[in-house]
């Protein structure tokens, strides 16, 4: 996984005595799998499924006698040669309960699955690698160099344990998991490039023809500059700043302004994306600690960058953002990966007309965070968020106080609090929010609050409109799909709620959930929604409601929410609804045109695809062997989305090309 390999810094020469040697690299590897198992040799407890926001180690007071908890971690080494490793340190963020000593043990088996790990099938733990007396609110480190050096494959696993003192005070430690902010890290110092690399980091392998460096593209002519800040000072409207492959440890402010006719752009070249990293932040400008990329100017597009590590365990403030938009207007952030920051993307109320598209925003916010989120955007005018993958953020996945919001064709999962928090801003009246074609999945047991969406708070009024979304609730918690929030004082505006052609699904055993939780009577409209049996507080104003226990989706646990032939969703939507979806989300961070395949639009975020749409992979409106070639190329390049899962096994592999050949023969 590219995201799990995070180069922090590189030194090309010997530094201070006893420190790094020439060409040594320090890489931060983020955990690729983790899970808690609970039980004894003769008793099995239900596992957490690897999806909780924390890992439990020890024994709890409320648990049955003689029941223990252990945690397992696995890190992919991503091609780092173990023989070149001179140091490896496991770092864990303590988030819960008592202070005590943690023991880290070796695990020789790396083939375990976090979603199927039980006490009875857990891999055996081996030697004690080290112990540490852990403290809260910080990373706690254990040296594991020798064990990592001894690995013969491309992964390493650990077991976390404590000494259980039965009939004594409980020993209970909780650590943040990879599903939340401040995940487990393995910091590895090694002697140069990864296996197969032709050049050391930061000139990591890339499809770019450029060298690591900063350039201005003035109509096809490239001029190189010494830093991003120098290029920002020199760029003119209509020109682009281009970053070659590698990592840039620079914080900068996009100060110039442009126009809609001649905008400004900064973009990364090649794959993987060039990286802006806050680990070694040394740039100084006002409010430096508020974000890595500050946008002061107007009409900027930021494209194809990874922005990471504006974090409070460095020098930055707790809410330091990957992006800090103030006071820039008409900003577009496109095809960016935003990881491990306080706020992923932060925009103030003095900015306006923000567009966020084709981004992945994940693993932002921090333990116990109340004010840091994947997104926290305000601003006048229209905020558009579309075709984004937003997940595993420690606070809200998306929080907004913007004047108006269009939230379209996104995929959200695994938040620490609300999925979408639409809190009104005191600067605006009648703030409207349209959610269309989104897939929003609750698959994290450790959420602070159970609501999918919150609308209101400052009583300024407005409309919340839901069209053709698919909402999936997988785990027990007292919650609601929609919470209309009216604090005690009188409202200044009126609020309305509408829902058309949506799926509101709860998994078997997922507990009670309300569809609408409103603090006071609210005008409601809606029709042709599919609602799971057991959902309460369904508005009486809804008409033509469908329901049951199975919406007939391809693979709910596997994340494929397209309707199957025969699904009750097919042709069951309300024709001519005010807002008809033009696209559907294609994972990851993509879109496909959506057309009505039958007599009427289907309910939910996806349409039942016709054969000609489902298998026309080269988009020439024909079905032939060229579609097989296009499918194979997309799989090999890593570009294939879930729509390429022809054999419906939950994975996209070359086997799907064989399944396509069989289907084309059957259709011919």
Is the pLDDT at 309 greater than 50? The verdict is yes
CB 89 within 8 A of CB 143: yes
Question: Exposed (0-12), middle (13-18) or buried (19+): which is 148, by Cβ within 10 Å?
Answer: buried
Using only C-alpha atoms, what is the Rg of the chain?
25
DSSP track, 462-493:
EEEEEES-EEEE-S--SEEEEEEE--SSPPSS
Q: What is the pLDDT of residues 604-632, one digit of tens each?
A: 999 986 677 678 888 788 889 999 999 99
Can you tell me the mean pLDDT for 372-380?
90
**pLDDT at residue 2, rounded to an integer:** 31
CB 253 within 8 A of CB 285: yes
Closest by CA position to 142, among listed 160, 123, 164, 163: 160
Q: What is the pLDDT of residues 558-580, one digit of tens each?
A: 788 999 878 999 999 998 777 89
**pLDDT at residue 62, rounded to an integer:** 47
Q: What is the pLDDT of residues 490-514, one digit of tens each?
A: 566 688 999 999 999 998 877 789 9
What are 495's strand-pairing partners?
A: 462
- H-run or E-run covering 53: none
Q: What is the dotted CATH code of the domain comprising 5-190?
A: 2.60.120
CA gap 242, 270 in Å, rounded: 10
pLDDT category of residue 19 using cuts at 50, 70 and 90: very low
**pLDDT at residue 484, rounded to an integer:** 87
Q: Which residue is it, tokens 């990329």?
A: 293
DSSP track, 365-420:
S-TT-SS--SEEE--EEEEEEES-EEE--SS-SEEE--SEEEEES-EEE--SS-SE
CB atoms within 10 A of CB 590: 18
Is the pLDDT at 521 greater than 70? The verdict is yes
Enter the tokens of residue 401: 């106080």
pLDDT category of residue 370 using cuts at 50, 70 and 90: low
Average confidence score pLDDT of the chain: 82
pLDDT category of residue 649 using cuts at 50, 70 and 90: confident
Cα torsion angle, 10, 15, 19, 21, sign: positive
**pLDDT at residue 459, rounded to an integer:** 56
E runs forming strands in 207-304 = 214-218, 221-225, 240-243, 247-248, 252-254, 264-268, 275-277, 291-295, 300-303
Domain ranges of the chain: 5-190, 204-348, 367-609, 611-667
Question: Exposed (0-12), middle (13-18) or buried (19+): which is 511, by Cβ within 10 Å?
Answer: middle
**pLDDT at residue 316, rounded to an integer:** 41
pLDDT category of residue 42 using cuts at 50, 70 and 90: very low
What's the distance, Cα to Cα, between the start and end of the chain in Å?
39
Distances (CA, A) of 268 to 387, 396, 405, 439: 19, 28, 28, 29
pLDDT category of residue 488 using cuts at 50, 70 and 90: low
Rounded to the nearest 10 degrees, the angle between the axes of helix 655-667 and helix 625-636 is 160
CB 70 within 8 A of CB 49: no
DSSP track, 431-466:
-EEEEES-EEEE--TT-S---SEEEESS---EEEEE
**pLDDT at residue 181, rounded to an integer:** 59
Can you tell me the mean pLDDT for 629-637?
89
CA gap 86, 125 in Å, rounded: 24
Closest by CA position to 232, among listed 208, 212, 256: 256
CA gap 322, 419 in Å, rounded: 19
**pLDDT at residue 118, rounded to an integer:** 82
Long-range contacts of 630-637 (CB under 8 A, 24+ apart): 631/656, 631/657, 631/660, 632/657
DSSP track, 540-553:
TT-BS-EEES---E
pTM for this prediction: 0.74
Q: What is the pLDDT of residues 258-302, one digit of tens each?
A: 999 999 999 999 988 999 988 665 443 334 556 899 999 999 999
CB 493 within 8 A of CB 461: yes
**pLDDT at residue 30, rounded to an integer:** 84
CA 57 to chain centre: 26
CB 173 within 8 A of CB 26: no
Enter the tokens of residue 405: 């919001």
CA gap 44, 68 in Å, rounded: 10
CA 90 to chain centre: 23
Q: What is the pLDDT of residues 230-257, one digit of tens each?
A: 999 999 999 999 999 988 888 899 999 9
- H-run or E-run covering 526: strand 524-527
CA gap 516, 229 in Å, rounded: 49
Q: What is the pLDDT of residues 58-81, one digit of tens each?
A: 865 444 445 678 999 999 998 888
**pLDDT at residue 5, rounded to an integer:** 34
Give, as one character, the DSSP assignment of residue 655: H
Q: What is the pLDDT of residues 339-350, one digit of tens each?
A: 988 899 999 989
Q: Which residue is it, tokens 């925003």?
A: 361
CA gap 368, 648 in Å, rounded: 39
CB 516 within 8 A of CB 542: no
Give, as one character, the DSSP assignment of residue 46: P
What are 291's strand-pairing partners?
A: 321
What are 26's strand-pairing partners?
A: 9, 189
Q: What is the pLDDT of residues 577-607, one digit of tens each?
A: 778 999 999 888 888 889 888 899 999 999 9
Q: How would you classify the pairing of strands 300-303 and 264-268?
A: parallel
pLDDT category of residue 384 using cuts at 50, 70 and 90: very high
The three-class DSSP label of residue 120 is coil
C-alpha neighbours within 13 Å on the C-beta side of residue 181: 38
**pLDDT at residue 178, rounded to an integer:** 79
Q: What is the pLDDT of residues 410-465, one digit of tens each?
A: 999 988 788 999 887 777 777 899 999 999 998 876 555 678 899 986 556 789 99
Q: What is the pLDDT of residues 192-241, one digit of tens each?
A: 544 333 233 333 557 888 998 999 999 889 999 999 999 999 999 999 99
Question: Exposed (0-12), middle (13-18) or buried (19+): which is 637, by Cβ within 10 Å?
Answer: exposed
CB 259 within 8 A of CB 238: no
Sequence-separated (6 or more) residues with CB below 8 Å from residue 597: 607, 608, 609, 610, 613
Cα torsion angle, 591, 293, 11, 75, sign: negative
Give, as one character, the DSSP assignment of residue 653: S
Q: What is the pLDDT of residues 108-152, one digit of tens each?
A: 999 998 878 888 889 999 999 999 998 876 789 999 999 999 999
Sequence-separated (6 or more) residues with CB below 8 Å from residue 504: 471, 481, 515, 529, 530, 531, 532, 535
């Amino acid at each position: 996984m590219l995201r799990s390999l995070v180069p922090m810094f590189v030194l090309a020469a010997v530094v201070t005595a006893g420190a790094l040697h020439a060409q040594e690299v320090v890489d931060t590897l983020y955990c690729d799998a983790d899970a808690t198992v609970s039980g004894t040799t003769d008793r099995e407890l239900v596992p957490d499924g690897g999806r909780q926001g924390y890992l439990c180690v020890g024994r709890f007071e409320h648990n049955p006698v003689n029941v223990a908890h252990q945690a397992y971690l696995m890190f992919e080494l991503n091609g780092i040669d173990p023989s070149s490793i001179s140091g490896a340190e496991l770092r864990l963020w303590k988030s819960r309960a008592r202070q005590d000593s943690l023991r880290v043990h070796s695990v020789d088996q790396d083939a375990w699955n976090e979603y199927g790990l039980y006490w009875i099938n857990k891999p055996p733990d081996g030697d004690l690698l080290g112990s540490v007396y852990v403290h809260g609110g910080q990373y706690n480190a254990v040296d594991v160099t020798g064990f990592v050096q001894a690995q013969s494959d491309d992964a390493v696993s650990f077991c976390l344990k404590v000494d259980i003192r039965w009939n004594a005070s409980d020993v209970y430690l909780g650590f943040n998991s990879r599903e939340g902010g401040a995940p487990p890290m393995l910091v590895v110092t090694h002697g140069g490039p990864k296996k197969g690399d032709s050049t050391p980091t930061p000139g990591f392998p890339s499809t770019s023809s450029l060298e690591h460096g900063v350039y201005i593209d003035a109509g096809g002519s490239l001029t190189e500059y010494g830093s991003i800040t120098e290029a920002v000072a020199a760029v003119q409207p209509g020109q682009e700043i281009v970053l070659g492959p590698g990592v840039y440890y620079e914080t900068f402010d996009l100060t110039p302004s442009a126009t809609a006719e001649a905008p400004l752009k900064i973009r990364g070249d090649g794959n993987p994306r060039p990286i802006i990293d806050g680990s070694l932040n040394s740039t100084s400008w006002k409010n430096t600690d508020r974000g890595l990329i500050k946008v002061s100017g107007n009409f900027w597009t930021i494209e194809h960058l990874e922005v990471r590590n504006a974090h409070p365990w460095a020098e930055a403030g707790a809410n330091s953002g990957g992006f800090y938009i103030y006071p820039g207007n008409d900003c577009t952030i496109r095809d960016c990966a935003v990881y491990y920051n306080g706020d992923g993307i932060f925009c103030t109320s003095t900015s306006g007309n923000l567009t966020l598209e084709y981004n992945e925003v994940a693993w932002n916010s921090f333990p116990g965070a109340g004010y840091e989120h994947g997104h926290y955007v305000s601003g006048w005018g229209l905020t558009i968020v579309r075709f984004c993958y937003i997940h595993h953020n420690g606070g809200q996945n998306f929080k907004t106080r913007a004047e108006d919001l269009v939230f379209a064709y996104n995929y959200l999962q695994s938040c620490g609090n609300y999925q979408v928090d639409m809190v009104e801003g005191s600067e605006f009246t009648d703030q409207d929010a349209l959610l269309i074609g989104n897939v929003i999945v609750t698959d994290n047991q450790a959420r602070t609050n159970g609501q999918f969406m919150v609308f209101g708070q400052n009583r300024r009024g407005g409309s919340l409109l839901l069209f053709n979304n698919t909402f999936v609730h997988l785990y027990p918690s007292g919650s609601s799909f929609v919470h209309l929030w009216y604090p005690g004082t009188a409202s200044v505006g009126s609020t309305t709620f509408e829902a058309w052609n949506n799926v509101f699904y709860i998994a078997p055993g997922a507990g009670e959930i309300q569809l609408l939780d409103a603090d006071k009577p609210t005008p409601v409209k809606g029709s042709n929604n599919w609602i799971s049996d057991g959902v309460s507080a369904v508005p009486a104003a809804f008409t033509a409601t469908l329901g049951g226990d199975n919406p007939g989706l391809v693979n709910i646990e596997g994340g494929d929410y397209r309707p199957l032939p025969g699904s009750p969703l097919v042709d069951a939507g309300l024709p001519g609804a005010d807002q008809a979806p033009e696209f559907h989300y294609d994972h990851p961070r993509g879109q496909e045109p959506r057309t009505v395949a039958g007599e009427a639009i289907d309910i939910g975020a996806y349409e039942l695809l016709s054969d000609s749409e489902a298998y026309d992979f080269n988009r020439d409106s024909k079905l032939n062997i060229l579609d097989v070639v296009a499918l194979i190329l997309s799989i090999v390049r890593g570009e294939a989305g879930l729509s390429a899962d022809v054999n419906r096994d939950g994975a996209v592999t070359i086997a799907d090309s064989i399944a396509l050949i069989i289907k084309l023969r059957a259709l011919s």
